[in-house]
């Protein structure tokens, strides 16, 4: 192979690299958000929903038990969607209500707070589903940018899967303690303004969390 021919080969490859038709090793190593990020984020929220459902069911059960003990009829409560969750960790779920709560008012307060926490986690889960715009159980770069921007966060390309997941989970955990519904709903509205919608697939996934 003569020198002139080798020079033409090098020039040909250089042109392809410049046009982005061939990838350099460093470019191909960049991690895109993808399915691992979506799964990591939604599974974290789902795990919290399970905890919230348990806490809500316990408070609900004890509130009803205390009303019955006092000979009163509990008021018609507004439920979070339609929850069918029943804890099976103990034979009698009312066995420690008297020790867990000092009285009806404390039980009612716990009922209200656990209901709100569960509602917040479910709504955040809904947001995570909605932000997967094409329902492929993976976040594209654009979807990742949109969901972070909706919560005033900045997307940084080239991060690891763990870093992306940590950033999304951080969004959830920062807002969960105080149940920042205004922040969550504002983020949802931002996504809606960009064309994101709750799809039939999203609703099916959300219904599974309510079982």
Q: What is the pTM of this model?
A: 0.79
Residue 22's pLDDT is 37
Both tokens of 170, joined, read 């951080």
Q: pLDDT tens across 28-71, in order?
A: 344 578 899 999 999 999 999 999 999 999 999 999 999 998 88
**Mean pLDDT to the nearest integer, 140-149:** 96
Question: Residues 19-30, buried b or exposed e (16+ Cβ, 10 A)?
Answer: eeeeeeeeeeee
Residue 167's pLDDT is 96
| Closest C-alpha to 97, from 85, 110, 115 | 110
**Mean pLDDT to the nearest integer, 131-159:** 95
**Mean pLDDT to the nearest integer, 182-206:** 97
**Mean pLDDT to the nearest integer, 182-198:** 97
Confidence band for 153, pLDDT divided at 50, 70 and 90: very high
Residue 71's pLDDT is 84
Q: pLDDT tens across 83-126, in order?
A: 545 554 555 778 789 899 999 999 999 999 999 999 999 999 99
Residue 1's pLDDT is 52
Both tokens of 41, joined, read 């984020």
Is residue 75's pLDDT more than 50?
A: yes
């Amino acid at each position: 192979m003569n020198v002139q021919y080798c020079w033409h080969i090098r020039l040909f490859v250089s042109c392809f690299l410049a046009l982005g038709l061939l990838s350099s090793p460093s470019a191909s190593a960049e991690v895109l958000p993808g399915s691992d990020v979506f799964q990591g984020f939604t599974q974290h929220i789902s795990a919290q929903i399970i905890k919230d459902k348990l806490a809500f069911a316990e408070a609900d059960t004890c509130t009803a038990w205390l009303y019955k003990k006092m000979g009163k009829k509990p008021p018609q409560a507004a439920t979070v969607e339609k929850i069918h969750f029943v804890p099976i960790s103990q034979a009698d779920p009312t066995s420690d209500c008297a020790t867990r709560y000092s009285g009806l008012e404390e039980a009612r307060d716990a009922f209200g707070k656990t209901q709100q926490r569960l509602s917040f986690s479910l709504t955040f889960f809904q947001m995570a589903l909605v932000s997967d715009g094409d329902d492929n159980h993976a976040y594209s770069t654009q979807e990742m940018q949109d969901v972070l921007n909706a919560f005033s966060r900045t997307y940084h390309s080239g991060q690891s899967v763990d870093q992306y997941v940590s950033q999304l989970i951080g969004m959830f955990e920062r807002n969960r303690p105080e149940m920042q519904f205004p922040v969550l709903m504002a983020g949802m509205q931002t996504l809606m303004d960009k064309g994101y919608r709750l799809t039939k697939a999203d609703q099916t996934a959300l219904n599974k969390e309510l079982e």
